[in-house]
Amino acid sequence: MAGAERRTRMTPEERRKQLIALGVNALADRPLEEITIEFLASEAGVSRGLVFYYFNSKTGLHHELIQTARDSLMRATEPKPELPASQRLHDTLERFVGFARDHRQTFYSLVRGTASGDEDVRTIVEEVRSAQAERLSIMFHELGAEQTPRLQVALRAWVALAEQALVDGAVNHELTHDELVAFLERSCLAVVELAAHARG
């Protein structure tokens, strides 16, 4: 789609970024496995060889796309330190639900990592879950929660709950945006409360 005219003016870094952006955008509508070197070459209006030059293989391309998708999810859901701690969770969840709705396929690829049987993709998916749990841990620490192994288990488990709820509730449109945010917020608070008190 980018004409030959622009092509000659791009630096390698710009071209690389353009290709990744096209790939991530395409991920909004189709699963990762459909985004091939050929597909991207055609979208960008460049040769197959050029796309190969940047990514080496479909696997290399998929790693870049998943990493970029991860970065954009992490940015989109970054807790805002300027908000009072008590509002920070709600605000973050609003954006989490929004991301899952607006970037359906990207989100699905990210939380499942199933579109590729690739171990590196699965590692990235694991990292997202851990990073989200860690952010929550910091947020709740500021709200006075004690940092215990039980809290860590509870928060990682809650992130898994949130991912599944977002896949079923937002991606498959079972629930409204507000219902999902409310469910996630209250379940998160409930789970943190349980981790603080349940002793078996």
DSSP class of 56: S
CA–CA dist 15, 95 (Å, integer) = 30
Torsion of CA 116, 132, 107, 188, to 10 degrees: 120
Within residues 152-181, the interface with a second copy by CB under 8 A covers 152-154, 156-165, 168-169, 174-181
Q: Which is nearer to a second copy, 27 or 191 (CB)?
A: 191
Taking CB under 8 A as the rule, does residue 183 contact a second copy? yes
Residues 6-45 that bind a second copy (CB under 8 A): none
Q: Is 146 in the site for a second copy (CB under 8 A)?
A: no
Question: How many whole angstroms separate alpha carbon 137 and alpha carbon 11?
Answer: 41
State yes or no: residue 190 binds a second copy (CB under 8 A).
yes
Cβ atoms of 110 and 73 within 8 Å: the answer is: yes
Specify whether the CB–CB gap between 116 and 60 falls below 8 A.
Answer: no
Rule CB under 8 A: choose which of 76, 122, 134, 143 binds a second copy: 122
Binding residues (CB under 8 A) for a second copy: these are 114, 116-119, 122, 129, 149-150, 152-154, 156-165, 168-169, 174-183, 186-187, 190-191, 194-195, 198-200
